[in-house]
Amino acid sequence: MADKRAKHEHPVWLITGAAGFIGANLVRLLLERDIAHVVALDNMAYPAVPENVRALRGHPGFTLVEGDLRCSETLYSLFRSARPDAVINLAAQSHVDRSIEAADGFVETNVLGTQRLLDASRRELEQHSADRRHRFRFLQVSTDEVFGSLDDGEPPFTVGSPYRPNSPYAASKAGADHLVYAARHTHGLATLICHCTNNYGPRQHPEKLIPLAICNALAGRPIPLYGDGRQRRDWLAVEDHCEGLVAALERGVPDGASGGRYVFGSGRDRSNLEVLELLCTLLDTRRPEGAPHARLITPVSDRPGHDRRYAVDPTATSHELEWRPTTVFSEGLARTVDWYLDNPGWIEAALDGERSNWISRHYAEFDMAGRERVKS
């Protein structure tokens, strides 16, 4: 790959996991706004959805490198040719249910992969001027799950909340965060860490709650609701999250007031049952032949160790980064439903082979028949 800097005045941003849900949305935002030249690294295996970046191939601001984050040689050669001004680490295994079933892949991708990326960043920067080292940013995209679970009425998480990860997934993300912090403290790498709440929007893998519910409802299949359905999540539109990531790269300060750490969320949490009921209402108006879709909501056994509630207070982040979420949940959810309805081909591609096998296997464990619907 030729040096992108020679051809573009834009900074070069290396995005790992670019064919995943958040990665693909972030790449689109950057290309639409012409903010950066994107060098995307993805191994194109689960949880990537290759369809997410297919239409971007050939875009002059986009270079896709198919390779494994855990391979140091791949990373060294990529850094040598692309010479990124920033790295945004979005490559991760992220589905809690899968991490409960088998955690190894989470440790390998989320922990080892992050360390390899930190090493490659450091090794590349050693050859550059102090000024370039100072301007470089390593942005780790973490999660609010590293802070554990809140009870109803407890104040939301902030960057000052202690790490208390509960699931293997959350523990692997917490481990990665600690390695990022260590790279800053020990080696002086200019790092930032962002903790976001649950995202929703186009191109999310159909194993996560909202796309799973849409896909099942369209197929007339039960919509599985874990436990009592009163677990609460703060849902942020993926576009708002991506705006936050750009703000962090443009205005974040590694040794700033919050220590270069930021939390993104909408500021309001909702129960899973409330979310599914709203989703079903939206489907009723769009697919009246299947109404009422809420009859498909089916309580199933709870997720082991299920975190009760996630919520963040984004006030400090909003001030520091001049960032505000702008999407109203009901409108963002309606647009999300419409995107899935308009893109049956994407759903089919996202659910090929192993991806749909896992979903069938996982839900086969539940008795989805004959259980009463819970009322909100």
Applying CB under 6 A, the residues found at the interface with ligand DAU are 94-96, 143-145, 197-198, 208-209, 212, 224-226, 231, 233, 272, 303, 310
145 counts as catalytic? yes
73 counts as catalytic? no
Strand duo 191-196 + 261-264: pairing: parallel
CA-nearest of 157, 141, 167 to 21 is 141
Shorter beta-carbon distance to ligand DAU: residue 78 or 273: 273
Between CA 120 and CA 265, with CA 13 as vertex, the angle to 5 degrees is 105
User: In the bound complex, which residue of the shown chain has the CB atom lying closest to ligand DAU?
Assistant: 143
CB 213 within 8 A of CB 279: yes
Strand duo 270-271 + 232-233: pairing: antiparallel
Shorter beta-carbon distance to ligand DAU: residue 90 or 212: 212
Shorter beta-carbon distance to ligand DAU: residue 61 or 267: 267
For residue 85, the minimal CB distance to ligand DAU (Å) is: 26
For residue 335, the minimal CB distance to ligand DAU (Å) is: 18
For residue 360, the minimal CB distance to ligand DAU (Å) is: 13
For residue 109, the minimal CB distance to ligand DAU (Å) is: 12
Q: Which two tokens stand for residue 249?
A: 């790269």
* Residue of 51, 144, 234, 320 marked catalytic: 144
* Residue of 42, 85, 124, 145 marked catalytic: 145
365 counts as catalytic? no
Which residues touch 94 (CB under 8 Å, ≥6 apart)? 20, 47, 143, 169
Torsion of CA 259, 265, 268, 271, to 10 degrees: -120
For residue 272, the minimal CB distance to ligand DAU (Å) is: 5
Q: Which two tokens stand for residue 44?
A: 């194109």
Shorter beta-carbon distance to ligand DAU: residue 24 or 96: 96
Strand duo 37-42 + 62-66: pairing: parallel
Shorter beta-carbon distance to ligand DAU: residue 43 or 231: 231
- Which DSSP state fits 110? I
CB 183 within 8 A of CB 128: no
For residue 276, the minimal CB distance to ligand DAU (Å) is: 8
183-188: long-range contacts, CB 8 A cutoff, minimum separation 24: 183/118, 183/121, 183/122, 183/138, 184/254, 184/260, 187/122, 188/133
Shorter beta-carbon distance to ligand DAU: residue 83 or 233: 233
| H helices, E strands: number in the chain | 16, 13
Residues taking part in catalysis: 144-145, 169
